[in-house]
Structure 1
Amino acid sequence: MSEDQPLVLKTSDNGVTTLTLNQPERRNSLSMAMLEALSAELHDIVEDAETRVVVLAAQGNVFCAGHDLREIREKFDDADFQLALFDQCSKVMQQIVDLSKPVIARVAGVATAAGCQLVASCDLAVAADTARFATPGVNIGLFCSTPMVALSRNVSRKQAMEMLLTGEMISATRAEEIGLVNRAVDEQVLDDTVYRMARTIADKSGHTLKIGKEAFYRQLEMPLADAYAFTSRVMAENLQAHDAQEGICAFLDKRKPEWHDR
């Protein structure tokens, strides 16, 4: 990649914005620069009314190899940089979760360590059946503690611990079985599958998607009774929105709704 090429490419089409990690020669590793570039793009999308769905993709045959170990080695004696790096990575993962628009990971190739964390942080994930996943930090003496946060919120405890303790690669098919990705598909239909899913979601009310995504993650951390009380309030408030009333009327009138995103 030439120096004037951005680390993250951005394209938009019919409400779907694709962010593509663009440093294949470095295995799309999450250097500080890459994390800052991705963070800036996610920040801009917050205010982008045209974007309803985000697809996170990558150039080359590695989706993301995790943190840039060369950069980390260069900063072995800089504890402040190390903490800043992991804090910045955590910020990006939380930006994805907090973003009001759904984020779909399009995974072709390998996603390891913080790259696996990136996949797990997305709301949805579709992988080519040739993709592979791992949290291999234990193999190099640096346990995947921050990737563990996202991983353990996607798969069962024992499946997460097996990946974290063995550091072994798992196939896309296995990733689908344990819930790390939604679908593992033939590489030839990966884009068709991802963008068909994205367009289906983009056809919904943006206001409703925002309400639903925020409520989903908030209720996950609540006790059962609190979750029901919270979501009852969310639904009652949602019902007062224009798009909810328009959607109900359109359904009863057997017509297509006209969303105003409010």
Structure 2
Amino acid sequence: MQTDQILLSDLSDEGILRLTLNDVKRRNALSEAMLGALGKAFSDAGRDPSVRVIILAANGPAFCAGHDLKEMTAGRSRPDGGKAYFASVMALCSSVMQGIVTCPKPVIAEVTGIATAAGCQLVASCDLAIAAESSQFSTPGVHIGLFCSTPMVALSRNVSNKHAMEMLLTGDMTPAARAAEIGLVNRVEAESAIQAATTEMARKIASKSSMTLATGKRAFYAQREMPLAEAYDYASQVMVDNMLADDAQEGISAFIEKRAPQWQDA
């Protein structure tokens, strides 16, 4: 693990991959380089059988300050005023966020410090999130004439319409406790205890069949976008296929026989 990298990576013997945003001077902004590193890390982790769970953490006082506005402003100097560049960056960012959702491994955000704009989007895109008591969240684009439209996509899929609109229209900071109340994060921990709490959750998840976790994560996000009847049809077929899997047979047998299951991840 090289500390001069903007994204650190460490894999435990239990299959817990810890990715740490490490561009502290830029408040872990989602620069092109950071987005590229994140996209590759999640893509690689999704294909790596030794990775069972991913924790996304950050060094420094900010979890993630969103897009690198200095980098974005420099893009305006291009002949088209930056239009093509802006479109490219937004496409890259959207790809990374979707990559977290489609990654077959569960992703837990461990949030310390502020998570603003696309940084808030990053948290909302993760499957689970644990926040330090001092952490805060916001979609502050309205303060600078730039509505947080892409962060809105992830935010509105985590919290109710009115809570999402309050954050988007006011740009106010949302304290960690309030973020837990509205469903943006799972729970809040003391900063001194957050790493232990996140690791405990990751270990619990890592002990399950990775086939089962991947099946469930994929089905969860797919059915959420379907009408009710279609969702039940789809989920029923997923259950049938899951029942035929080796790990389902092993898990049910282990439950009946009152023993620990031996997963084959298949």
What TM-score do you get using the length of structure 1 for normalisation?
0.98
Which residue number in structure 2 is paired with residue 146 of structure 1? 150
- What residue identity is the alignment partner of 1:108? T
Which residue number in structure 1 is paired with residue 16 of structure 2? 16
Which residue number in structure 1 is paired with residue 29 of structure 2? 29
Instruction: State the distance in 2 between where 1:41 and 1:86 align.
Output: 19
Shift of 1:47: 1.5
Instruction: State the distance in 1 between where 2:172 and 2:82 align.
Output: 30
Aligned-partner SS, 2:197:
helix
Which residue number in structure 1 is paired with residue 220 of structure 2? 216
Instruction: State the distance in 2 between where 1:92 and 1:175 align.
Output: 23
Shift of 1:179: 0.1
- What residue identity is the alignment partner of 1:119? V
Percent pairwise identity: 56
Q: Which digits, 9 at most, give the CA deviation of each residue in 1:3-36, with x for residues without a partner?
A: x822111001111001111101100000111101
- What residue identity is the alignment partner of 1:106? E
Instruction: State the distance in 2 between where 1:142 and 1:194 align.
Output: 33
Instruction: State the distance in 1 between where 2:238 and 2:34 align.
Output: 36
Residue ranges of structure 2 left out of the alignment (5+ in a row) = none
Shift of 1:42: 1.1
Which residue number in structure 1 is paired with residue 4 of structure 2? 5
Which residue number in structure 2 is paired with residue 254 of structure 1? 258
In the alignment, structure 1 residue 158 sits paired with structure 2 residue 157: no
In the alignment, structure 1 residue 48 sits paired with structure 2 residue 52: no
Instruction: State the distance in 1 between where 2:231 and 2:72 align.
Output: 41
Instruction: State the distance in 1 between where 2:143 and 2:47 align.
Output: 41
Residue ranges of structure 1 left out of the alignment (5+ in a row) = none
Shift of 1:87: 0.5
Aligned-partner SS, 1:75:
helix
- What residue identity is the alignment partner of 1:41? A
Which residue number in structure 2 is paired with residue 202 of structure 1? 206
Instruction: State the distance in 2 between where 1:169 and 1:50 align.
Output: 38
What TM-score do you get using the length of structure 2 for normalisation?
0.96
Q: Which digits, 9 at most, give the CA deviation of each residue in 1:192-242, with x for residues without a partner?
A: 110000000000000000000000000000111111111010001000000
Which residue number in structure 2 is paired with residue 225 of structure 1? 229
Aligned-partner SS, 2:146:
coil
Q: Which digits, 9 at most, give the CA deviation of each residue in 1:17-64, with x for residues without a partner?
A: 011111011000001111011111111112110101000011101000
Q: What are the within-5 Å matches in structure 2 for residues 117-156 of structure 1?
A: 117-156=121-160
Which residue number in structure 2 is paired with residue 58 of structure 1? 58
Aligned-partner SS, 2:129:
strand
Instruction: State the distance in 2 between where 1:216 and 1:253 align.
Output: 30
In the alignment, structure 1 residue 110 sits paired with structure 2 residue 114: yes
Greater shift in the superposed pair: 71-80 or 94-103: 71-80
- What residue identity is the alignment partner of 2:257? D
Shift of 1:79: 1.2
Shift of 1:81: 0.9
In the alignment, structure 1 residue 171 sits paired with structure 2 residue 170: no
In the alignment, structure 1 residue 180 sits paired with structure 2 residue 184: yes
- What residue identity is the alignment partner of 2:5? P
Aligned-partner SS, 1:208:
helix
Q: How many residues align?
A: 260
